[in-house]
Chains A and B, each alone.
Chain A
């Protein structure tokens, strides 16, 4: 099972470190990361493996959202299936 974590917001130091530390805490393995800065807006997308996650998906998603709120960022954690189904035949 894989999920996609997206982080969108104002660029600040240590965003990648904070999100990946949180992943490590929950035994979520980061597979791929892409990031870009669009007009001062930081945008990072992480593909992660959640098959060995040591908590519930809801907990991971809520914690990531809370981390985002505390940093002034929007963090979404969503199962990759929603992207695959929507954009591939």
Chain B
């Protein structure tokens, strides 16, 4: 039985409202590639990635054609390299190069997992990896890096926050010729998740199986279009409309994941219930908030509207798929969202408001350009603030800020494509240096004592 309305609705969502599957991400464990000889280990890493993911792109493109829905990215996440490289006792940059070459060989556009998990302290290999991040991101094209500096269970490693403040700056400095792009491929997490399919923060956790397919859905344009049909609905009705739309979006993610898993003969992991924007017109999370009734994203009421949106997306998506995971929620990356870019340029959206928004939505301070003279200590303090929100609220938070080296407020960085362009946003100037230099561990909060 053909239902004309249903068929046309699906086609309109894809053609006019930017419905797509944002990513199929293959998680690959590299634990069996560990070797004390770094050359041997890197060869094993390259061989394993290229073997496991050899059909990933072709299968993704086949599904895209068959279902008629774009699958924007095919990506790979691997075991945190600090674990794989620890036995080598040297700089792990060759691993980044091996990952980059493998990513190019199989045709994926990004590969994540140049990562370390240091929420409770540094173990062997962690500091080697962290110190090598700026070089690794500068000498590779597709490698993404992340570091977990805190969790609800462990508290926040303030030493790691301090180190990462410096590393974020160095990653930007090492890539000044590419608009400081190194820092855009580096995420600092609290409560990092092990099955996240979204870059730049994806890595394949040690508790995951050898190989796994995870899917990240998208669809801000579809939600906005659905809301635009109900200009007089009250806020409870708005939540219901978002739920129904999120259900439909997520069902497609589930279908794509099932097909990919079957065709690649790899277990299907999770669907990440996300609203991931792109800089394209009609694909903005900020515009959903404006459709709900805010003149511009960032004004008073933004946090409440975002909280409702984030919750409704989860409630709608949860029934649509068998397993949920990843970051699951609305993303607010400033440079990747046309509405956020406008709001930041006009001054309505400031970093303090973004910080408040991260307390109620999926991730954190994402793709935000800050002045080039921002000190490592200030960046470290931003990381600590954001980690504290994650730690206390038992949620994932992250910081992906890009110091715009040589630029100041009023200028912008432009990367083009999915990464978009971001205006440099002002920060507070009083120094947090003493706080950061104290070092040590912020103890885990009461929320950690659930046993």
CB-based nearest B residue for A58: B65
Interface membership of chain A positions 64-89, coded 1 if the CB is closer than 8 angstroms to chain B and 0 otherwise: 00000000001011110111011101
Judge whether A40 is part of the interface by a CB distance below 8 angstroms.
no
Q: Which of B4-12, B94-102, B337-345 contacts A (4 or more CB under 8 A)?
A: B4-12
CA of A76 to CA of B62 in the docked complex: distance in angstroms? 15
Residues of chain A contacted by B11 (CB below 8 angstroms)? 6, 8, 76, 78
User: Are B2 and A85 in contact (CB-based, < 8 A)?
Assistant: no
User: Are B8 and A83 in contact (CB-based, < 8 A)?
Assistant: no
Interface residues on A, range: 20 to 34
User: Are B62 and A86 in contact (CB-based, < 8 A)?
Assistant: no
Q: A6-B11, A82-B67, A82-B68 are in contact. Are A87 and B6 (CB under 8 A)?
A: yes
Q: A57-B66, A61-B65, A87-B248 are in contact. Are A82 and B2 (CB under 8 A)?
A: no
Which has the most chain B C-beta neighbours within 10 Å: A8, A78, A86?
A: A86
Q: A79-B66, A82-B67, A85-B252 are in contact. Are A43 and B4 (CB under 8 A)?
A: yes
Interface membership of chain B positions 312-335, coded 1 if the CB is closer than 8 angstroms to chain A and 0 otherwise: 000000010000000000000000
Judge whether B22 is part of the interface by a CB distance below 8 angstroms.
no
Interface membership of chain B positions 55-80, coded 1 if the CB is closer than 8 angstroms to chain A and 0 otherwise: 00000001001111100000000000
Q: A-B contact count, CB below 8 Å? A: 67
CA of A8 to CA of B7 in the docked complex: distance in angstroms? 12
Judge whether A12 is part of the interface by a CB distance below 8 angstroms.
no
Judge whether B255 is part of the interface by a CB distance below 8 angstroms.
yes
Interface residues on B, range: 20 to 34
CB distance from B364 to the nearest CB of A (A): 31
Identify which of residues 1-34 in chain A touch chain B, using a CB-to-CB cut-off of 8 Å: 4, 6, 8, 32, 34
Q: A45-B7, A86-B10 are in contact. Are A32 and B67 (CB under 8 A)?
A: no
Interface membership of chain A positions 25-59, coded 1 if the CB is closer than 8 angstroms to chain B and 0 otherwise: 00000001010100000010101000000000110
CA of A85 to CA of B68 in the docked complex: distance in angstroms? 14
Judge whether B451 is part of the interface by a CB distance below 8 angstroms.
no
Residues of chain B contacted by A32 (CB below 8 angstroms)? 1-2
Classify the secondary structure of A's interface with B: strand
CA of A40 to CA of B255 in the docked complex: distance in angstroms? 35
CA of A4 to CA of B8 in the docked complex: distance in angstroms? 11
Residues of chain A contacted by B65 (CB below 8 angstroms)? 57-58, 61
Judge whether B3 is part of the interface by a CB distance below 8 angstroms.
yes
Residues of chain B contacted by A76 (CB below 8 angstroms)? 11, 68
- Given B6, B15, B319, which contacts A86 in the complex, CB threshold below 8 Å? B6
User: Are A79 and B67 in contact (CB-based, < 8 A)?
Assistant: yes
User: Are A77 and B68 in contact (CB-based, < 8 A)?
Assistant: yes
CA of A87 to CA of B8 in the docked complex: distance in angstroms? 12
CB distance from A7 to the nearest CB of B (A): 11
CB distance from B36 to the nearest CB of A (A): 47
The 6 closest A-B pairs by CB, nearest first: A78-B68, A87-B6, A82-B67, A85-B251, A85-B255, A58-B65
Q: List 23 A-B contacts (CB under 8 A).
A: A4-B7, A6-B7, A43-B8, A45-B8, A57-B66, A58-B65, A61-B66, A76-B68, A77-B68, A78-B10, A78-B66, A79-B68, A81-B67, A82-B69, A82-B252, A82-B255, A83-B3, A85-B251, A85-B252, A85-B254, A86-B6, A87-B6, A87-B248
